[in-house]
A and B are shown apart, each in its own frame.
Chain A
């Protein structure tokens, strides 16, 4: 037996057994932590600091050849974008509005659909394993392929959406889905289809931990399915859903590939979401300083759902 083992045995026997951690008995194995922390610092943290620095400079095609000497302009990009009187502000605020509406709406839909599917497949159903596997399929399509697919679906007159609409006499065959106000719905549907499996997975997993007798007891007491859902199921899966809501809002807010592929660099205002605007600024018009500043603003906005979630889940507390 090693010395460590002996020491532990003594501590164990003496009742020095902290509830869930070894905090007082052993040194922290930082060597387990560092292979994760070092890459995170080098690959995420440092570039982010770097990017924040870029947002304070006038980095564009003229200065990129020598970026260390790009002139420092301080908060100019932020003011340009955020000052309501500036020329860049309308585009910026339109983007923020579009992004917020888009991510909230999408999150709402995927949660309804995802939880619905989870409830459905939690119970007994023939062919359940097969159906459960099929439900995950949209998740493995790369975003840009998904974008092209839905663009084809929503093309005016030639796309399936209009053809079906005309066949069912629900509307004219030349309805526009890729321009005008309907473009938001096209984008939402495309993103909902591709990303609802994530919520479905989380909800299903959460549902699986609720033992069946809870339901049986409630049913024997005469509760209707709706009441069971509202009073029992929902509260029990709320923490999981909370995490799902926070993460999915963030991911949808950040989604640039889908609107870019569906609408191009000059989309209708309703779908000119912030990441697309940032991309056009950074990589097409080469205004990297402005692009970085807008990214930082986007990041700050997205911290909101993250912070809300952390508060609600009360992470920071003991343990």
Chain B
């Protein structure tokens, strides 16, 4: 009797859940829908109060490629962001391994400083970092500013603290016996990490990859200073649409371009999202 009642209760709550889920979907998707509407409006009509564009300007979706070099920026962003994601994750894994498995002097200071660096505002670092890069460029005759790898190096470094933090907790939760077994079998440290730890840590790595990717993908401040016309990424690139130097901002073009360039990022998300959930599960429980 009680069981039947609780089953009925569960059905009812099931129906209720769909309503709430619909509410969430609406909350998330409504602004995207509005973005699409704005993307189809005329230059002077965008944001002017017309809810539905009377004449949908489908040509906006081709204009965005001609007004600015959107193809180039998209390509650059993909290159820089995926590199950032991959390199940051791998380096973080190495560092996280050491933090998780070893005691060394200042270990706790190091761990705490990882969290503390999250508080540093980017604006504070912009000018000093640029000056330091120029000094290094002169000192060792290597170009940093205006290259892909200079940008990747910068983003990767900003992504490292969170990545190391997350992965160190994650690695700690992995059983150490497997590694020890491998060492007994003669593998050196590097091979242990590569063949034992890495596959097991893949979910955690997926998280740090996405996190680092997005950090690079969304940045505008450092990209505007560290890129050349050939390496310019989407951050400063999209801003051209709303430049007010000689015209009104083209919100319609901006929304169209934003929708278009969100597609690759979204595809990436879809691929990695099932790893992410599993990755965060173990990585953050201990805090």
A and B touch in the complex (CB under 8 A): yes
Residues of A within 8 A of B (CB): 1-2, 4-5, 8-9, 12, 17, 20-23, 26, 28-30, 32-33, 35-37, 39-40, 42-44, 46-48, 50-51, 54, 67, 116-117, 120-121, 123-126, 129, 131-145, 148-150, 152-153, 155, 157-160, 163, 193, 201-202, 204-206, 208-209, 219, 225, 239-240, 242-243, 246-247, 250-251, 254, 256-257, 275, 278-279, 282-283, 288, 291-292, 295-296, 298-299, 302-303, 306, 309-310, 313, 315-316, 319
The answer to whether B28 and A160 touch across the interface, beta carbons within 8 angstroms, is no
Is B282 an interface position by the 8 A CB rule?
A: yes
- Per-residue CB contact flags for chain B residues 123-164 toward chain A (1 = under 8 Å, else 0) read 111011101100000000000000000000110111011101
* Chain A CB within 8 A of B234 CB: yes
**What separation, in Å, do the CA atoms of A195 and B160 have in the docked complex?**
20
B32 contacts the other chain (CB 8 A): yes
B262 within 8 A of A: yes
- The CA-CA distance from A311 to B286 in the complex, in Å, is 13
Q: Are B34 and A5 in contact (CB under 8 A)?
A: no
Shortest B115–chain A CB gap in Å is 5
Q: How large is the interface on B (under 10, 10 to 19, 20 to 34, 35 or more residues)?
A: 35 or more
> CB-CB < 8 A to A26: which residues of B?
189
Whether the pair A278, B214 counts as a contact (CB closer than 8 A) is no
Q: Is the CB of A140 within 8 A of B285?
A: no
Report the separation of the CA atoms of residues A279 and B127 in the bound assembly, to the nearest whole angstrom: 12
The smallest beta-carbon distance between B251 and chain A, in angstroms, is: 6
- A33–B110 Cα gap in the complex (Å)? 11
Bound: A159/B128 CA distance, A: 41
| Residues in B lying within 8 Å of A, measured CB to CB | 6, 13-14, 17-18, 20-21, 24-25, 27-29, 31-32, 34-35, 38, 46-49, 51, 91-92, 94-95, 97-104, 108, 110-112, 115-125, 127-129, 131-132, 153-154, 156-158, 160-162, 164, 172, 176, 180, 183-186, 188-189, 193, 214, 217-218, 220, 234-235, 238-239, 242, 249, 251, 254-255, 258, 262, 265-266, 269-270, 273-274, 276-287
Distance between Cα atoms of A129 and B269 in the complex (Å): 12
Q: Cβ of B160: which chain A residues have Cβ within 8 Å of it?
A: 36, 39-40
